[in-house]
Amino acid sequence: MTIMQKALWLIASVGNFSAGYFYMHSQSAFSLILLISTLLYSIIGIYDVFHSRHSLNRLYPVVAYLRYFLESYRVEIQQYFIANDTEERPFNREQRTLVYQRAKNVRDTIAFGTQRNLVEDNYLSLWHSLAPTHIKEAAKRVIIGGASCQQPYSASYLNISAMSFGSLSSNAIEALNLGAKKAGCYHNTGEGAASPYHLKHGGDVVWQLGTGLFGCRDEQGRFNPVSFEKTANLPQIKMIEIKLSQGAKPGHGGVLPKAKITDEIAHIRHISKDKDCISPAVNPECTSPKDLLAFIVQLRSLSGGKPIGFKLCIGNPAEFLSICKAMLETGITPDFITVDGAEGGTGAAPVEFTNRLGLICLEGISIVNNALVGVGLRDKIKIIASGKTASSFDLLAKIAAGADVVNAARTMMMAIGCIQSRHCNTNLCPTGVATQDPARAKAIDIESKSDRVKNFHDNTVASFFELVGSMGLDDPAKLVPQMIKRRSPYGVQMSMGSIVAPLPAMALVDPLQNKLDLDESWQHWWQASSAEQFYVDDIFILKSPEFHQVKTNRV
């Protein structure tokens, strides 16, 4: 027997007898409490030993519950008492504190120097200029809308990323949308449809059509053009985004746990509330690159010429090149492409999908930017980056990598009170942000939290413009990848993406005419891609670009 099993039998026999004897002779409150305690300990312990399904309870009766109790608060204990300011994931204490400070409009400076190791491998930094300047007013917004767009949209550099009603509470959605209105940025609906809470306060909205087509689906789950046209022409809807995949779970449909599906959500999404809402992994209207582009044309027509784009997390680069080939063959281009990073987000997802699939945001942006340059379409399409943006440097790095504007989700949640408890998928969010429990959601004061969204947005964008100006630039559009410096394993700095040369204009379409020696990876991906289907065999052997560079230099 274990020591706790021996203790149980000792208490169940000698302990109960002694406590009963003591109570019979003293009749005091203490003796009564002691007797009840030993009896309860004995009953629970005997149940654990003979009936519990858990090995720990059988071997360590009663005290095993102490472990379960402490384990239930492990994340909070780690966060508050153990982790230092720079080691937590996904957002460390330093990042969260910065968001809270800027959202509350309080001091966001630090003293006594950085806590970061400035010479660690892959550390990103910038070179400043001795001639800092100010950003031109005309360069502080980005126009989204190509030649076929009749209602182009002027976007902020920082916007609110996709978060649906269902994933977030109604009060959280309202606070975010009112904050977007005050800040002059847009608010993406997420795949759960353009709910009344996204539209109530009149903030600019990007309507995302997920693979479940919520908000514009028929009884069979297919696209309903009538209901789409009705919503798409609302004045608050500024752009429409087709979701092909997302960074939290690329290759997997959206997941809304049954515990979070209320009658209202079931009505808005046109789904059952008796089971988890799992969207299909593939958009039924976009099963091939040409289908995707045809759908874009249809949505553009039904919406009255509003900007139409699509969102994806980059996996096999050849499959994105298949979309580029379809654009060239059909002459159809989206107005924007949102690149989601594999860093994930608020969505519930299997661990393996979150941890192992997809390219991180900066890599995805680089692939998309280079591909569009290589086929001569970059000037027709805007790139929106979505993935883990807490500071103005995060914003700047994505713009430099090739994005035009940036979306942020989790840090916007932090601005309205999220504490990174990581209970988003349980309906037990302690701050009322990611829950459908009305009692918890009421804790969010919409007016005051919307001010915090505005403050975080405005302070971060202002810091971004100041950071760009410190580099001697008067327009964020002048940022290029080589301006971001990465610390190499050898201790010296190198430009981000310096090992792989960026593609020159039209390099993929006509490399011979341009007398270009394309990297063999791009050559393979381009040759393997097809405008007729997304899937491309992932058989190319990736190797360190340094080896290819050495080979080329020797030749």
One-letter amino acid of 67: R
Measured distance CA(310)–CA(527) in Å, rounded: 24
Query: Is 94 a member of any domain?
Result: no
Residue 292 falls inside a structural domain: yes
Helix (H, G, I), strand (E, B) or coil at 385: strand
Q: Residue type at 128?
A: H
Torsion of CA 525, 526, 529, 535, to 10 degrees: 20
Is residue 63, in this structure, part of any structural domain at all? Answer: yes
Last residue of one domain, picked from the residues 446, 461, 486: 486
| pLDDT value of position 350 | 79
Looking at residue 498, its pLDDT comes to 67
Q: Are residues 67 and 132 in the same domain?
A: no
Do 224 and 360 belong together in one domain? Answer: yes
Q: Domain for residue 299, yes or no?
A: yes
396 and 275: one domain? yes
139/68 same-domain check: no
Q: Are residues 242 and 161 in the same domain?
A: yes
Could you tell me if 390 and 260 lie in one domain? yes
Judge if 333 and 219 occupy the same domain.
Answer: yes
pLDDT of residue 71: 87
- pLDDT tens per residue, range 198-247: 999 999 999 999 999 999 998 888 899 999 999 999 999 999 999 999 88
Structurally, how many domains does the chain consist of?
A: 2
User: Two tokens at 328?
Assistant: 């060239």
At which of 438, 458, 486 does a domain end? 486
For residues 48 and 129, membership in a common domain is answered with: no
- State the residue range of the domain holding 159: 125-486
Residue 104 falls within a domain, yes or no?
no
Structural domain includes residue 405: yes
Q: Is residue 174 part of a domain?
A: yes
Predicted pLDDT at 441: 94
Round to whole Å and give the CA distance between 240 and 308. Answer: 5
Q: Give yes or no: residues 56 and 188 share one domain.
A: no
Is residue 35 a part of any domain in this protein?
yes
The values of phi and psi at residue 16, to 5°, are: -65, -40
Domain stop point among 460, 486, 512:
486
Helix (H) or strand (E) holding 382: strand 382-386
Query: What type of residue sits at position 76?
Result: E
Q: What is the pLDDT of residue 331?
A: 97
Q: How confident is the model at residue 10, as a pLDDT?
A: 96
Produce one character per residue of 497-513: b if its CB has 16 or more CB atoms within 10 Å, e if not: bbebbbbeebbbbebee
pLDDT tens for each residue of 414-462 = 999 999 988 888 888 999 999 999 999 999 999 999 999 999 999 999 9
Same domain for 70 and 187, yes or no, is: no
Mark the ranges of the chain whose per-residue pLDDT is less than 50.
550, 552-555
**In this structure, what CATH number is given to the domain that contains residue 157?**
3.20.20.70
CB 398 within 8 A of CB 361: yes
pLDDT value of position 549:
52
Q: Judge if 378 and 263 occupy the same domain.
A: yes
384 three-class SS: strand
Residues in the chain: 555
